[in-house]
A and B are shown apart, each in its own frame.
Chain A
Amino acid sequence: MTITDLLKSATSEILSEDVLKEIESAFNKSVDNKVKVHVEKALLDQDSDYASKLKHLLEVVDKDHTKKLVKVVEAIDANHSQKLQLIVKKFNKELNSGARGFKDNMINNVSTYLEAYLDETVPAAKLNEAVKSKRARVVLEQIKEILGVDSAVAKKAVKSAIIDGKRQIDEANKKLEAAQKELQHIKEDYSYAKASLVLEKKLTGVDGKKKEYLNKVMKGKSAEFINENFSYASNLFDKSKSDRLHTLKEEAITGTESRKVDRPVIEEDVQVQSNDANGFDAGSYMSPYLQELNKF
């Protein structure tokens, strides 16, 4: 039932419809205003109530969260501290034992590698050979010291000087030998010339065949030989000549043909001459003396 119906019944329809409508609208306005005020008031009350409740709730929640966060932080701190302590322990352990083991292992590996490298580059056989060579050198030095060979002698400069000196000595020896040969030739030439001169002097004044005989006998002999044996050869020639004359006389007396008797003697002379012409032969110039000696 509306307010218009109520007024109609209360006033027994005294009021007109328009009035009733105005009254109704005014009533509705008034009611609306009051409702609005009440609603606003209720809203404000609700807001304040909710605000206070929310504030309280927030404070409680904050406190709770704070407590919980504190607990969480403490738990995390404790956990991290524990873990850090474990890390420190582990680090110390690794530093003291693990790092040392790693270092030793690394050193051993490097050492092994270097040993292998040296095995490859410097073989034991070569090393042994070098040791033997060095040992031999040392022994040689000791032997040098024992034998008194000065180290300066072994030096290259002195060695070259010694070699040069030896070369000079060899050259000097060669020159001396050549000079001695030349001197020997000169002496031979001189003795030959002297002998020729002596023979020429001795043959001056000697007649033809005798001169030819003596010249051939004494040719090539030394001056001393000519001086010693010239007179003997001359006498020998004279004696053989007188013997030939005596033989011719006897043959002439006995009537025997003796024209060919001289030939062997001449042939003997020719043989002597040919032998003498070849040079100094002991057998050739000794044979006339032996023949003459056989006659006595």
Chain B
Amino acid sequence: MGKNNLLEKKLISQFLLNLNSKNYNNAHKFLRKIVEQKLNKRIEKSINNF
């Protein structure tokens, strides 16, 4: 979980940096990755609860 959180923080940091420098395409890619990461986490949790 800690590793995932670290990766998620890095992704959000990259997303904010790209957003700040107006690289919207890259920002969109990182946002996608962040959402995928979060959804994977939720799915994993749901599978564990199943």
> Given the complex of chains A and B, what is the CA–CA distance between A119 and B34 in angstroms?
15
Output the least CB separation between A122 and chain B (Å).
7
Within 8 A of B (CB), among A115-167: 115, 118, 122, 124, 127-128, 131-132, 135
Could you tell me which residues of chain A, from 51 to 86, have a CB within 8 Å of some CB in chain B? Answer: none
Q: Footprint of B on A, CB under 8 Å?
A: 103, 106-107, 110-111, 114-115, 118, 122, 124, 127-128, 131-132, 135
The closest CB in chain B to the CB of A132 belongs to: B50
Identify 6 residue pairs between A and B in the complex whose beta-carbon atoms are under 8 Å apart, listed by A's number.
A110-B16, A111-B12, A115-B38, A118-B38, A124-B42, A131-B46
Query: CB-nearest residue of chain A relative to B19?
Result: A110
Interface size on B, residues (CB 8 A): 16
In residues 36-50 of chain B, which contact A (Cβ within 8 Å)? 38-39, 42-43, 46-47, 49-50
- How far is B45's CA from A118's CA once the two chains are assembled, in angstroms? 14
Specify which chain B residues have a CB less than 8 angstroms from the CB of A110 in the assembled complex.
12, 15-16
The reply to whether B16 and A118 form a contact with Cβ atoms under 8 Å apart is no
- Give A139 to B26 CA distance when docked, in angstroms: 39
* Closest CB in chain A relative to B33 CB, distance in Å: 12
Report whether B9 and A107 are in contact in the complex, using a CB–CB cutoff of 8 Å: yes
* A131 and B50 form a contact (CB under 8 A): yes
Give 4 new A-B contacts, CB below 8 A, not counting A106-B16, A107-B16, A131-B47: A110-B16, A114-B34, A124-B46, A131-B50
Complex Cα–Cα for A114 and B30 (A): 13
